[in-house]
Amino acid sequence: MSNNDTTLVASVNLATDSPIRDEAVSPNESFIVQAPAGSGKTALLVRRYLNLLTVVKQPEEILAITFTEKAAREMKSRVLKELVLKDGIAAQVHERSKQLHWDLELNPQRMKIQTIDSFAYGIVQRMPIECQLSLDYQSMEKSDDIYCEAAVEFFEQVLRQGVNTEYATDILALFENNIDQAIDTFASMLSHRQNWIKSVQRVLYAKRDGKSDEGIFAQLEATRNRYVGNVIETTRNSLPDSLMKRCKSLCRTVCKNLDRSFHDFERSDDWATLANVFLTNSSSLRRAVNVNQGFPPKSVEKQLWSELAVEIEEANLIDVFQRIHRIPDGAIIPRHREAFDSLCLGLPSLIQKLNVVFQRRECIDFSELSFAAQRALERDEMPTELALALDYRISHILIDEYQDTSDAQFAFFERIMTTWNPDSGNSFFAVGDPMQSIYRFRNANLSLFQRTFNQDILNLKLQPRKLNSNFRSIPSLVEFNNRVFQRVFGTDENADYGQVAFTESVPANTQLKENVNEDSVNFLLTLDDPDGSREARQVALRIEQLISSYGSNDKIALLVPTRTRLSGYFDALKDKGIQWKGIEILKLEVAPVVRDLYSLVEAVNEDRSRLAWLSVFRSPLCGLALPDIEKLAKFETGSEMLKCTTLSSVGLELVARVQKAVDQSKRESHITLRSQVERLWFRLGGNHAYEDVDSMVNAERFFELLESTTEREIRLHDLWSRVQSEYVSESGENADLDIMTIHKAKGLEFDHVLLVDISNATGTAPRELVHWAEFENSLLVAVRDQEIEDPFYDFLRREEKARDANENKRLLYVAMTRAKKTLSIFGRFNTTEKKPRTGSLLALLEPFFDEATEIDAEPEPKDLHVTRGNLLTRIDPSFEWVEPSSKYQIDESLKLDLSSDFEIPAPPNFRLELVLGKLVHRELNWLSQTTQRENVFSAERIANWQQFLRAEGLCNEEISLLVKKTQKHLNNVLNHDIGQWIISPNQREASSESAYTANIDGELLEIVIDRTFIDDADVRWIIDFKTTTMNEDFSHEELLKESEQRHGKQLSRYASIMQMCDPKTIKCGIYYTDIPFFIEVEVPQNSLK
């Protein structure tokens, strides 16, 4: 156990909440635990998991769900580490694992610790018929181009003469017949269709069952009115009684002065009156009132209003009044009825078009993956079928980061637990922190945590518990954050608006010491710094100080709310010589190699694209000087530019090289665009023209995107859209700090944190075409209309802004609680405004400005705006690409034993079988060296296969076929007990694809053994993998006989050579990955002596 681990264990044992922790890990009860930042929730999850292993019959009965794959790997690693140490409960688990033959150290894949998406994908793989989804489909993380394609095809269909023109007209009217805007909006709707698809189905089912339109809209309006009533009731409960009494008296007088009726807050109009008394039209607090608001000059009510306004502001109740400002009624105007009705009729066709695109591209997004898994789980006999499909029944569920659970995921868990009851021996355990819920854009529903915390889940009694220990930060940091967030969060909680009550933390790590050299918190404000340049220089200076004071071992992180305004900080860091590593910070489109490749693609496909051709000529692939570029700019096409004879001598040589490469490329029009451009890029010296180490990786990523977006037709717009959604790969070697968004930093910790660029307002959610929401098991809906405003839509929009504002508070909490030793906060504002921008993170810290150091405006350095010219770089004009050899290198283990009497004719697809064998062997070698099996079929891994197969000279159709076959073979191995045993990375003295050379009877033999290891009985195994495609009517008996005849001599030779290295008893076997099937081949031990 490391010193850090020992320290943490000691601190946990001494923590004030240690009795709660001990109680929460009991496997006999169900708990939901609120665990603030730094409270050691991963350790709690591991302890709970280990305790559950002492009571289950099989480890697969425990399903542990994490929010990210990284968290899943960390938790599984922590469990394995505990099992190796064999301390405390881990010793019992180790013994139980040995007795029941779990062998978790050798078979870590039996621990079902995974993300919800990974679990859903497993269900789809096991139950494809019930899920109604092909196993061949790949899941896509980014699907914007797919949504756009589906939206375009949808409108192409509905605008076709005579096809559904009625609802198409109503839909387009919402966009004033702007078809491009309509396509963009519908593509966006597809990206979060899980929010509305069931609502639309509900309306269509009502129509199918004979319910009239009038009845449907009456129900929708009733839901609206109930929602307004709920808002009013929430407001009433949020205001102190003493304040309400005085407000009622004030409103009564104001309404009398204005000759309006007032009903003591019994009607919604009364609450609107209350809001108008204190708020302006822009929903900010009034600074004065006059006769227009019902306050005559010198009236005594003005004094009462002033007292109440001060009290409202000091008690942070302005947002409560904003909720009831301009509160609408629930009526739906006729135009919006027609629009909503048309949407409900049209959206199923949009979904249908999306499914067509999925089928055509053989891929799905994560939403479709979730829907598919739900289709299997919604069957009445699901629990039994799921248990049969998975080969186990789920008895215990653990959920990490429960505050980020979505409604769909919650329904997913409920369906799994549908047959559980208090006496079934099942348990549910969830841990999370409402103060760290920052994923509303991913449909995270914070209210699920708050409601689950206050009530049971299904038939299980939940024990709610709260932790308060902080093992991460030094005491002064914990105390500072307590002070800040007590003010920011307050003590009120409201699930409907995402409002959380603050939970104070207690410093608990006794080994962390205060830094006596400086303050743990540095709060710096730069005044009148509109472009943020002075802030950026202060940030660079602070980082320089941290590196000097603490050395290179301390981890430093620079956190930002968004990626959009980082260029100034990059310049300041560069000036100081500070190296940084970005975590999904820079877009792929900014990489020079990617921009040059896109220009090359555009030039190859469009001879008249002058800008693309000129960009290629100026890029390092050619490197023409500006005088030559000016001459080429006079031509209209690339062909004309290539024939120009008035260039400089160097320019003529460079263009001639480009001409030669382009001519060769034109003769390769029969190959895919990806292959054509890739070969052209290599001929131009692309792999030598760029100096940074990341260019090749980014180029490969571009080629993958090019292939996926131009498989059947060239869609350059889609290609660039995909490029814009990707991030560059950065090596980060010798980096002094990490730069990332606050969202990316969640779950991480650093010695020093710098929080920057918090002075601008954070982004708000886009104005959706339709607002869909569930309320009291009914549909709450409002339509956006550019011509006729819907007050209820604007009201719901303001509700969303209130939820966004509360999430901003949580975002700030996540950022400020990442630090272990020091926290540096940087902000700026204009002195003319006298306060930070509304909606910014800095505005939340305004009450603490008196603790900040202010830096006044100063003259800019004279050399600040000196422009640095970019040096022209280019490949050597004499460079010539040499095409690599494509000769096949066949492994010894794949060769047939021609000395055998058993003759087998070579199949017609022998070449593909050889390549398949090479790839499967390579992947089994990789699997035998890693415990991280979650990424076996990830998009990145499959892209790696495709690159390998392409290097073998295969075409797209062959690559697609072998990718599917490889997935099948690896899936067979991973889901077969013997297969898992063979490739387990924990086998003793194990090696894969190992080469040996020996002198046998005067003959020098070289062999490659696929897999060898020593088992628990101290026997050395030699395993030969065979990827031969088996016929459906094969016989195990015949296969056994054939294997001994064909491969017995070869395995005996392997055993003889291995005997020279290791005198242990040797056993040999053949593992057929296509079936899967294992055959032990007898090798006489006396022949090995």
Q: What is the distance between the alpha carbons of residues 569 and 532, in angstroms, rounded to a whole number? A: 9
Give the pLDDT score at 1009: 92
Percentage of the chain beyond pLDDT 90 is 39
Block residue for tokens 């949504």:
147
Q: What one-character-per-residue DSSP string does 208-274 give? A: HTT--HHHHHHHHHHHHHHHHHHHHHHHHHHS-HHHHHHHHHHHHHHHHHTT----TT-SHHHHHHH
Q: Is the pLDDT of residue 865 over 50?
A: no
Structure tokens at 282: 């822009």
What percentage of the chain's residues is helix, strand, coil (to nearest 5)? 50, 15, 35
pLDDT digits (tens, 9 = 90+) for 216-263: 999 999 999 999 999 999 899 889 999 999 999 999 999 999 999 999
Give the pLDDT score at 1028: 85
Within 10 A of 393 (CB to CB), how many other CB atoms are there? 17
Mean pLDDT, rounded, for 408-424: 84
Three-state DSSP class for 753?
strand
pLDDT digits (tens, 9 = 90+) for 886-911: 444 444 444 444 444 444 444 456 77
Give the pLDDT score at 509: 75
Max CA distance (Å), the chain:
118
Write phi, then psi, for 516 (nearest 5 degrees). Answer: -80, -10
Q: Are 359 and 193 in contact (CB under 8 A)?
A: no
Give the pLDDT score at 495: 82
Mean pLDDT, rounded, for 172-190: 87
- Where is pLDDT greater, at 447 or 672? 447
Three-state DSSP class for 31?
strand
Binned at pLDDT 50, 70 and 90, residue 868 comes out as very low
In order of 58, 118, 464, 535, the CA distances from 413 in angstroms are 20, 14, 18, 47
- Helix 407-416 with 366-377: angle, nearest 10 deg: 30
Q: Are 1059 and 1088 in contact (CB under 8 A)?
A: yes
Q: Are 217 and 332 in contact (CB under 8 A)?
A: yes
Q: What is the distance between the alpha carbons of residues 263 and 268, in angstroms, rounded to a whole number? A: 10
pLDDT digits (tens, 9 = 90+) for 200-218: 888 889 888 889 989 999 9
Closest of 248, 251, 249, 261 to residue 289, by C-alpha: 251
| Lowest pLDDT segment from 654-668, 814-828, 1032-1046 | 1032-1046
Kindly give, in sequence order, each residue whose CB lies less than 8 Å from that of residue 536, ignoring residues fewer than 6 positions away.
568, 569, 571, 572, 756
Written as one letter, the residue type at 852 is A
Q: What is the distance between the alpha carbons of residues 92 and 281, in angstroms, rounded to a whole number? A: 67
Structure tokens at 786: 């550019």
Binned at pLDDT 50, 70 and 90, residue 733 comes out as low
- CATH code at 16-137+365-467: 3.40.50.300
Binned at pLDDT 50, 70 and 90, residue 164 comes out as low
Give the pLDDT score at 884: 53
Burial level of 489, CB count in 10 A (0-12/13-18/19+)?
buried
Beta bridge partners of 499: 494
- Between the ranges 81-85, 519-523, 583-587, where is the mean pLDDT highest? 519-523
Q: What is the distance between the alpha carbons of residues 255 and 259, in angstroms, rounded to a whole number? A: 6
DSSP assignment letter at 1029? P
Q: Are 38 and 6 in contact (CB under 8 A)?
A: no
Closest of 959, 979, 955 to residue 969, by C-alpha: 979
Q: What is the distance between the alpha carbons of residues 632 and 630, in angstroms, rounded to a whole number? A: 6
Give the pLDDT score at 13: 57
pLDDT digits (tens, 9 = 90+) for 596-616: 999 999 998 889 999 999 999
Beta bridge partners of 397: 63, 428
Q: What is the distance between the alpha carbons of residues 326 and 343, in angstroms, rounded to a whole number? A: 27
Burial level of 370, CB count in 10 A (0-12/13-18/19+)?
buried
pLDDT digits (tens, 9 = 90+) for 41-57: 999 999 999 999 999 99
Q: What is the distance between the alpha carbons of residues 956 and 960, in angstroms, rounded to a whole number? A: 6
Q: What is the distance between the alpha carbons of residues 543 and 733, in angstroms, rounded to a whole number? A: 18
Kindly give, in sequence order, each residue whose CB lies less than 8 Å from that of residue 35, ignoring residues fewer than 6 positions away.
41, 44, 431, 432, 433, 467
Residue ranges with strand state E in 71-145? 112-115, 138-140
In order of 92, 768, 1044, the CA distances from 1041 in angstroms are 45, 67, 5
Q: Is the pLDDT of residue 388 over 80?
A: no
Residue 853: its H or E element? strand 853-855
Mean pLDDT, rounded, for 1011-1025: 89
Q: Name the superfamily (CATH) of residues 521-583+735-771+782-856.
A: P-loop containing nucleotide triphosphate hydrolases (3.40.50.300)
Q: What is the mean pLDDT of the chain?
A: 84
Give the pLDDT score at 872: 63
Q: Is the pLDDT of residue 557 over 90?
A: yes
Q: Is the pLDDT of residue 737 over 50?
A: yes
- CATH code at 914-1081: 3.90.320.10
Mean pLDDT, rounded, for 573-593: 88
Architecture of domain 588-725: Orthogonal Bundle (1.10)
In terms of residues, how long is the chain? 1089
Kindly give, in sequence order, each residue whose CB lies less than 8 Å from that of residue 647, ignoring residues fewer than 6 positions away.
624, 628, 631, 632, 655
Q: Are 62 and 52 in contact (CB under 8 A)?
A: yes
Closest of 426, 433, 409 to residue 461, by C-alpha: 426
Give the pLDDT score at 883: 61
Structure tokens at 571: 């310049």
Kindly give, in sequence order, each residue whose CB lies less than 8 Å from that of residue 1043, ignoring residues fewer than 6 positions away.
1070, 1079, 1081
Q: Is the peptide bond before 1076 cis (omega within 30 degrees of 0)?
A: yes
Written as one letter, the residue type at 943 is A
Radius of gyration for the chain, computed over Cα atoms and rounded to the nearest angstrom: 34
Q: Are 716 and 556 in contact (CB under 8 A)?
A: no
pLDDT digits (tens, 9 = 90+) for 493-541: 888 888 999 999 999 876 666 554 568 899 999 988 888 899 999 999 9
Structure tokens at 885: 């050899």
Give the pLDDT score at 260: 92
Q: What is the distance between the alpha carbons of residues 37 and 903, in angstroms, rounded to a whole number? A: 68
Block residue for tokens 């829907």:
371
Give the pLDDT score at 866: 46
In order of 613, 638, 665, the CA distances from 635 in angstroms are 10, 8, 22
| Lowest pLDDT segment from 270-274, 340-344, 640-644 | 340-344
Mean pLDDT, rounded, for 130-138: 69
Structure tokens at 26: 């009991």
Structure tokens at 918: 């090479």
Kindly give, in sequence order, each residue whose CB lies less than 8 Å from that of residue 14, ignoring residues fewer than 6 positions away.
508, 510
Q: Are 921 and 893 in contact (CB under 8 A)?
A: yes
Kindly give, in sequence order, each residue whose CB lies less than 8 Å from that of residue 504, ignoring residues fewer than 6 positions away.
468, 482, 486
Kindly give, in sequence order, each residue whose CB lies less than 8 Å from that of residue 146, ignoring residues fewer than 6 positions away.
140, 354, 357, 358, 361, 363, 365
Model's pTM, two decimal places?
0.76
Binned at pLDDT 50, 70 and 90, residue 11 comes out as low
Q: What is the distance between the alpha carbons of residues 81 and 936, in angstroms, rounded to a whole number? A: 22
